[in-house]
Amino acid sequence: MEHANQLNTTALYIGVIIYFACMVLVGYLVRKKASTAEGYLVAGRQFSLLFNAPALTACFLGGSLVLALPGLIYSTGVWDDNKLWGASSVLGGIFCLILAGIFYMPKMWKLKLLSLGDYFYLRFGKTTGFIVSMVTILTFVFWIGVQILVFAKVCEAFLGWSTHVSAFIGLAIIAVYTSLGGLWAVMATDAIQVTLVSLGVVILTPVALNLAGGLDMVLAAVPESHEHVFPQISEPRVWVAWFASWCLIGIGSIVSPDLMQRAFAAKTASVARNSALVAATIKIILSLFMIALAFAGWKLVHTEIIPEAALEGDPELIVPVLVKLLLPLPLVILFVGAALSAVMGAASSALLAMSGMISKNIYKDVLRPQTSDKELVLVSRVCVVLFAILGLYLALELEMVYLLIALGFDLIMASLFAAMTLGLYWRKANQYGAIAGIIAGFFTRIIGAGVMNGFSLKSIAYAGDWYVWSLVAPLAAFVVTVIVSLLTQKSCPSNEYGFHYDSDGDPVFANGKKANAYIAE
């Protein structure tokens, strides 16, 4: 038996190494397609629905699907009235894709942007673009650190590698294939990753349900509180917290630069919109399978068919445990490789989004306007490597990286969502209003939670009344943006920087110049 286990472990190692080598090979093969800024940062805007939909799905795959969602379902269910938390925080990605696909991506795509920072630069001026880029970069560097930790956790669960070894391996692979192939390399592997993870989930779920006695017996065994989608008590704070948990990703991630950058890679605005809706559908189906899988795992553990010790006290390991125990070795290899590469895909797209903001919105727009296209690509590649190293350092050395990323995404929703939305749908929004709204949302989130709970990182990031400030802060940003914009129409007319959409749906400035022409300057 021990000899057989060693052979299985060796085969798993070899399979994963081959998978990683293929990812690096993809980056090498597409490197010539990524020789221009447009090719490197937005894959030449050449992707059809067949590739763009998996790419958008992959933004909400990786660790959130394999670890976070089943872990929350296993421990709290979709929503827990007592903890004021649940898997709804992860499932919000479904609404993010739907809202972004219908209301944001088509309009943003027509601007022919290279990064999300370009939108704020075009709509509200260079200063606003710089501020937005800095806020986003400061948040996403911690997101990269979190993804490296998730990669290490999956490696440790499946392969037994230490955190440091796994993190270094993940960093090396991510940095190499992203710096070589840019968004081409990321999106070329997304379709394979989504397909393999989906295949593994679809095969594993009925196997686990069958072992647990079938879906009816599983639902009968799982605590009723785990199955509630809506709050079961009428207290206003519970309903406010429930709504806020859906908004964190459901609205907050609309302003995510990696999500929008993948949308920019679509062939047309309609492809971007339809890809997001298809991705939302895929996310719904996979989430339903994962919820059933987590429930089956709960019954298998609590009926001692699977020993509770296998989880090592961490409910997020329920899927890795089920994969190792219930799937044949070839499928384990495919699932592990796809899960790891999906996590790396999330990290690499974040790296690319940040490198685009640094190279385009700070280096070129602010520091060196005469930057050539070739130089812009070189700076982007250097930024990918530097931010990968910084993410590794934060992952291994900063104990509170999870707290920082939780706070960071909250701050993005608090400060940037209002400016982005009003900029698209309200012609009177101007630069002064946008900057004032960004500042108001940012500091309302920090100072409000700090005054009520104390000015420590933990009390601000995980305040007991987090849901209040997660909703109040973006509302404050909306109100301040509107008021300041209206008060400053004469001193800062909205058409000084801003654009509007003509009858054909194309963005143009007041002087008639196409908005996307400014990106090429």
Extended strands (E) in 379-511: 499-501, 507-509
* Distance separating alpha carbons of residues 412 and 447, to the nearest angstrom: 15
pTM: 0.91
Burial of 319 (0-12, 13-18, 19+ CB in 10 A): buried
Please report, as a single letter, which amino acid is at residue 372: S
Report pLDDT for 267: 94
> Which residue has 């992707």 as its token pair?
47
2-398 belongs to which CATH class? mainly alpha
Which tokens sit at 131?
Answer: 């501020």
- pLDDT, residue 519, reads 47
Sign of CA dihedral 295, 301, 305, 306: positive
**CA gap 354, 85 in Å, rounded:** 30
The Cα angle at residue 349 between residues 345 and 350, in degrees rounded to 5 = 115
Residue with the two structure tokens 């294939």: 177
At position 68, the amino acid (one-letter code) is A
Residuewise pLDDT in 10s, the chain (521 residues)? 444 455 577 888 888 888 888 888 988 888 888 888 899 999 889 999 998 999 899 888 777 778 888 998 999 898 988 888 888 888 899 999 999 999 999 999 988 898 999 999 888 988 998 999 888 887 788 788 888 888 888 888 888 888 888 888 888 888 888 888 888 888 888 877 788 888 888 889 999 999 999 999 999 999 988 988 999 988 999 999 999 989 988 998 899 888 999 899 999 999 999 999 999 999 999 999 999 999 999 999 999 899 988 888 889 889 989 988 888 888 888 888 878 877 877 888 888 888 989 998 899 988 888 889 889 999 999 999 998 888 888 878 765 655 666 677 788 899 999 999 999 999 899 999 999 999 999 999 988 888 887 777 677 776 678 889 889 999 999 999 999 999 998 888 765 556 666 666 677 766 566 655 444 44
d(C-alpha 219, C-alpha 227), whole Å:
8
CA gap 361, 136 in Å, rounded: 12
**Whole-Å CA distances, 367 to 360, 361, 364, 380:** 10, 9, 6, 14
CA triple 255-352-355, angle to 5 deg: 95
Domain spans of the chain? 2-398, 403-521
CA separation for the pair 44, 128 (Å, rounded): 26
Which of 201, 232, 254 lies closest to 94 in space, CA to CA? 254
What pLDDT, on the 0 to 100 scale, is given for residue 518? 45
Closest alpha carbon to 144 in 341, 411, 413, 350: 350
Pairwise CA distance, residues 429 & 483, whole Å:
9
- Quote the distance between the C-alpha of residue 46 and its chain's center: 22
